[in-house]
């Protein structure tokens, strides 16, 4: 009874370590390729448009309702202690430090990570990636690097926009539903906001952008076995990116704010 359990545990541990090793070597290879020419500028621009611009509606929607619900929830709590004036501050700090980057990244992981894994996975199973190699084009440089660069560059911009839209959501609920003075709300928002609150959120965004695109590319690149393999790759890309986002979020927060 106990022997099969130990075997299973050992097998799972080995598989886990093997996956970590494989992802790490994929990431190192990609970064090495990213540092050497040629760079495919057109591909980078296309991916930036795909990741940044086309994600704006969904990220904006997420941000505005998050800001609104934050204001509403903290009001119902803080009113008990007559601490309503802290609400603008709670909204802006929660958004810039945590909810802006994390929720935007989770939405982008679902939208972009999945699409990347499916596209690259299909290219893998239809031999298009091998075809790139035979045309003297390094698939890491042509497929992976542009996505990684686009992810790292556009996610912070996306999160900055999400922060602003989220604060706007909080402002709308605060002023029009909870009867805050509009001047006072804005003043309370900006007075307590520190550079580090926003900056840590943008660093998170860049890291999450890397993780999302890395997972999308890795799972697509290593997929095999036809349509089913591509389906599995897509699921794995989203699940692993989401898990990594939440994990890295904790450690980046600790690096910035733990004393």
Partner 1 sequence: MTSKISLRGVTKSFGPKKVLQGIDLDVAKGESMVVIGGSGTGKSVLLKCVLGLMRPDAGSIKIDDEETVALADGGRADVMRKFGMLFQGGALFDSLRVWENVAFGPIQSDGMKPAQAREVAIAKLGAVGLGPEIGELYPAELSGGMQKRVALARAIAREPEIIFFDEPTTGLDPIMADVINDLIVKCVSDLGATAVSITHDMASARKIGHRIAMLYDGKLIWQGRTADIDHSGDAHVDQFINGRAEGPIRMQVRRL
Residue numbers at the binding site for partner 1 (CB under 8 A): 40, 123, 126-128, 130-131, 133-138, 142
Residues 6+ apart with CB under 8 A from 151: 47, 51, 112, 209, 210, 212, 213, 214
Rounded distance, CA 90 to CA 88, Å? 6
**Calpha distance 106→231 (Å, rounded):** 19
CB of 126 to partner 1, least distance (A): 6
Q: How many helices (H) and strands (E) does the chain have?
A: 12, 0
Nearer to partner 1, 131 or 190 (CB): 131
Non-local (6+) Cβ contacts of 129 within 8 A are: 120, 123, 139, 143, 221
Closer CB to partner 1, 32 or 177, in the complex? 32
User: Is 73:173 a contact under the CB 8 Å cutoff?
Assistant: no
Q: Select 13 or 133, whichever has its Cβ closest to partner 1.
A: 133
Q: How far apart are CA 223 and CA 233, in angstroms?
A: 6
SS3 state of residue 223: coil
Nearest approach in angstroms of CB 212 to partner 1 is 21
Q: Which is nearer to partner 1, 33 or 56 (CB)?
A: 33
Residue 111: how many CB atoms within 10 A of its CB?
18
Whole-angstrom CA distances from 55 to 52, 145, 199 are: 5, 20, 21
Closer of 128 and 253 to partner 1 (Cβ): 128
Burial 2-16, CB ≥16 within 10 A → b, else e: eeeeeeeeeeeeeee
Q: Which is nearer to partner 1, 4 or 37 (CB)?
A: 37
Q: Taking the complex as a whole, how short is the minimal distance between the CB of residue 227 and partner 1, in angstroms?
A: 14
Pick between residue 6 and residue 135 the one whose CB is nearest to partner 1. Answer: 135
Question: Closest separation between CB of residue 21 and partner 1, Å?
Answer: 18
Q: How far is CA 78 from CA 84, 124, 172, 192, in A?
A: 6, 54, 18, 17
């Amino acid at each position: 009874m106990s022997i099969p359990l130990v075997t299973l545990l050992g097998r799972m541990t080995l598989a886990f370590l093997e996956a970590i090793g494989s992802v790490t070597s994929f990431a190192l290879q990609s970064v090495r390729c990213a540092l050497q020419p040629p760079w495919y500028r057109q591909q980078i621009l296309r991916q930036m448009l795909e990741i940044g611009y086309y994600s704006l509606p969904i990220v904006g929607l997420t941000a505005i309702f998050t800001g609104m619900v934050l204001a509403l929830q903290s009001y119902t709590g803080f009113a008990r202690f007559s601490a309503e004036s802290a609400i603008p501050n709670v909204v802006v700090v929660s958004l810039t430090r945590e909810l802006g980057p994390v929720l935007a990244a989770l939405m982008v992981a679902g939208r972009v990570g999945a699409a990347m894994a499916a596209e690259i996975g299909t290219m893998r199973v239809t031999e298009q990636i091998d075809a790139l190699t035979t045309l003297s084009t390094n698939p890491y440089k042509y497929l992976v690097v542009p996505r990684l660069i686009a992810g790292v560059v556009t996610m912070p911009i996306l999160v900055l926009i999400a922060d602003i839209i989220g604060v706007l959501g909080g402002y709308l609920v605060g002023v029009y539903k909870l009867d805050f003075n509009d001047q006072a709300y804005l003043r309370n928002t900006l007075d307590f906001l520190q550079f580090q609150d926003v900056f840590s959120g943008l660093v998170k965004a860049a890291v999450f952008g890397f993780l999302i695109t890395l997972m999308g590319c890795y799972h697509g690149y290593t997929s095999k076995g036809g349509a089913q393999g591509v389906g599995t790759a897509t699921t794995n890309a989203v699940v692993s990116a989401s898990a990594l986002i939440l994990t890295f979020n904790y450690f980046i927060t600790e690096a910035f704010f733990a004393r």
